[in-house]
């Protein structure tokens, strides 16, 4: 199979409510979807596949952002992939290896090719990855709010909807009080965790240790992306398990961080690590080292959500992920809705990622569409 081309589709997706983290507030997403068209071999005259870029609008979560991802794909990835004679999912990363970083951009391209390839072969992504479940347990990530009563309302609504785990975004000034308030209102049995998105330094260890009495599942990424040694030191000073998100860019980084004692749990986000193949390697490394993993989220539309659900169904994903129902994010999604039922969402079982954008809906949300011909 060869690449015929990639279509870059930009969609403007308003969020149902603002999502505030320690690095900023998002009210909508400028999402980059990629449609890969392959020809020849099992694809015959042509087969297409979809991927969603995890990059946010701004380079505040990590160095990547939507506009930058679209640029590197158009300028570098399309010509590099055009020269691959036998294009398979496994051939994408080696073909793009010369480009440093840009993992979210690499991931969306690899996913679109993977989806097309799996459709050509009639294989669902979940089966390809080695999934062992048909439904996955879902948690929800709750942003920083203006007040504790507002937070308790939001958490109460999510618990009523059936989410099986709550994650609170924290930052200096919004950490112990919201956690205590949630524990007092909803009890000690609610699986609860926090995510700081790098907002603290090692000097804050005494403050973070104040979270210990609340029996949290984990503290996610308290320190800077590069500060693996700092996380290892922090892990010795707090009892709550440390989970890394931003710091884990590859299976190698995961193995190193675990060996150094910087984390005992890993958040796997396919975009952050360069795709689903690397995500599976992280899963395997963590399983071999006895470290639980869970699937993170980047406010994906149904395109990215479908693939994340397949990943979250692997055996090592023993903690609920940020794989919430479509309605937690969008009043209307570009794919058929993913509905939370009994705290779980079914894993798509059709070939590839198992869903397609709905053409009319995509047309309404699209702000631009560019087809880049390979070769």
The region of 208-216, 247-255, 291-299, 367-375 touching ligand SMG under the rule CB under 6 A is: 291-299
Is-catalytic flag, 269?
Answer: yes
Is-catalytic flag, 169?
Answer: yes
Choose among 199, 161, 168, 178: nearest CA to 60. Answer: 199
Q: Which residues does 230 contact at the CB level (< 8 Å), separation at least 6? A: 201, 202, 223, 224
The region of 119-127, 181-189, 290-298, 361-369 touching ligand SMG under the rule CB under 6 A is: 290-298
Q: Report 197-216 residues binding ligand SMG (CB under 6 A).
A: 197
The region of 97-105, 231-239, 296-304, 330-338 touching ligand SMG under the rule CB under 6 A is: 296-304
Which of ligand SMG, Mg ion, none binds 297 (CB below 5-8 Å, type-dependent)? ligand SMG
Q: Report 196-225 residues binding Mg ion (CB under 5 A).
A: 220
Interaction of residue 245 with Mg ion, rule CB under 5 A: yes
Which of Mg ion, ligand SMG, none binds 308 (CB below 5-8 Å, type-dependent)? none
Beta strand 2-21 with 366-373: parallel, antiparallel or unpaired? antiparallel
DSSP assignment of 259-325: HHTS-SEEEE-HHHHTSHHHHHHHHHHHHHTT--EEE------HHHHHHHHHHHTSTTB-S-BS---
End-to-end CA distance of the chain: 14
> Per-residue contact track with ligand SMG, 313 to 342, x per CB under 6 A?
---------x-x------------------
CB of 268 to ligand SMG, least distance (A): 11
Give dist(CA 21, CA 123) in Å, integer. 37
| Residues in binding contact with ligand SMG, number by CB under 6 A | 13
Choose among 134, 93, 141, 139: nearest CA to 113. Answer: 93
Of 110, 195, 300, 356, the residue at the interface with Mg ion (CB under 5 A) is: 195
By C-beta, is 82 or 140 nearer to Mg ion? 140
Give dist(CA 301, CA 282) in Å, integer. 24
The region of 119-127, 147-155, 242-250, 364-372 touching Mg ion under the rule CB under 5 A is: 242-250
Q: What is the DSSP letter of 57?
A: S
Interaction of residue 227 with Mg ion, rule CB under 5 A: no
Give dist(CA 113, CA 92) in Å, integer. 8
Q: Report 1-30 residues binding ligand SMG (CB under 6 A).
A: 26
CB of 291 to Mg ion, least distance (A): 17
Other Cβ atoms less than 10 A from the Cβ of 361: the count is 16
Catalytic center residues: 169, 269
Judged by the rule CB under 6 A, the positions of this chain that interact with ligand SMG are: 26, 56, 61, 141, 195, 197, 245, 296-299, 322, 324
């Amino acid at each position: 199979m060869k690449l015929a081309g990639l279509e870059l589709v930009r969609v403007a997706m308003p969020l149902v409510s603002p999502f505030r983290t320690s690095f900023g507030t998002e009210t909508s997403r400028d999402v980059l979807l990629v449609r890969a068209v392959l020809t020849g071999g099992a694809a015959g005259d042509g087969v297409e596949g979809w991927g969603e870029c995890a990059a946010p609008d701004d380079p505040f979560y990590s160095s990547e952002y939507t506009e930058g991802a679209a640029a590197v794909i158009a300028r570098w990835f399309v010509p590099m992939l055009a020269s691959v004679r036998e294009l398979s999912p496994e051939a994408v990363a080696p073909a793009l290896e010369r480009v440093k970083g840009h993992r979210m951009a690499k991931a969306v391209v690899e996913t679109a090719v993977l989806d097309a390839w799996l459709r050509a072969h009639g294989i669902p992504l979940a089966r390809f990855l080695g999934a062992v479940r048909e439904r996955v347990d879902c948690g929800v990530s709750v942003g920083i709010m203006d007040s504790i009563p507002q937070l308790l309302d939001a958490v109460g609504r999510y618990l009523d909807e059936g989410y099986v785990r709550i994650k609170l975004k924290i930052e200096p000034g919004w950490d112990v009080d919201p956690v205590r308030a949630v524990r007092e209102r909803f009890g000690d049995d609610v699986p609860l965790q926090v995510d700081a998105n790098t907002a603290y330094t090692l000097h804050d260890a005494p403050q973070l240790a104040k979270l210990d009495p609340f029996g949290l599942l984990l503290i996610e990424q308290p320190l800077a992306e590069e500060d693996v040694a700092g996380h290892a030191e922090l892990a010795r000073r707090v009892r709550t398990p440390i989970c890394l998100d931003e710091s884990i860019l590859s299976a190698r980084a995961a193995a190193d961080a675990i060996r150094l004692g910087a984390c005992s749990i890993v958040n796997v986000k396919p975009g952050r690590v360069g795709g689903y193949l690397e995500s599976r390697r992280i899963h395997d490394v963590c399983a071999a080292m006895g470290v639980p993993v869970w699937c993170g989220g980047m406010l994906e539309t149904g395109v990215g959500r479908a693939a994340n659900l397949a990943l979250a169904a692997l055996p090592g994903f023993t903690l609920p992920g940020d794989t919430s129902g479509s309605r937690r994010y969008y009043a209307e999604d570009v794919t058929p809705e993913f509905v939370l039922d009994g705290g779980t969402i079914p894993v798509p079982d059709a070939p590839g990622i198992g869903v397609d954008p709905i053409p009319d809906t995509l047309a309404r949300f699209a702000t631009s569409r560019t087809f880049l011909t390979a070769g």
